[in-house]
């Protein structure tokens, strides 16, 4: 289950999305999203980085379904 948290500083406001790393189960941050062409149109992809050092990039449906 993804957790959304908003952090604020005096000059920067950004949304922090946290999830679980599929490689080690530790907390990870979704650091980016983008779309790539697919058979049924544009497919969403996500990039994650966990506290254990894993950086994963893959289709959102694959990473999300592995967490459920």
- CATH code, domain carrying 43: 2.40.10
> Which pair of tokens denotes residue 27?
């907390």
Contact in structure between 67 and 30 (CB atoms under 8 Å):
no
Which domain, by its residues, includes 28?
3-67
pTM over 0.85: no
At 8-66, the pLDDT tens digits run 555 556 677 788 888 888 888 888 899 999 888 999 999 999 999 999 998 888 776 55
Q: What are the phi and psi torsion angles at 4 (to 5°)?
A: -110, 130
Structural domains in the chain (count): 1
| Top-confidence residue, 61 or 5 | 61
């Amino acid at each position: 289950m993804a957790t959304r948290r908003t952090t604020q500083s005096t000059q920067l406001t950004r949304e922090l999305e946290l999830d679980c790393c599929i490689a080690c189960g530790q907390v990870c941050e979704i650091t980016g999203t983008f779309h790539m062409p697919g058979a049924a149109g544009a497919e969403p992809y996500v990039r994650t980085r966990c506290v254990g050092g894993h950086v994963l990039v893959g289709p959102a449906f694959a990473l999300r379904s592995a967490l459920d």
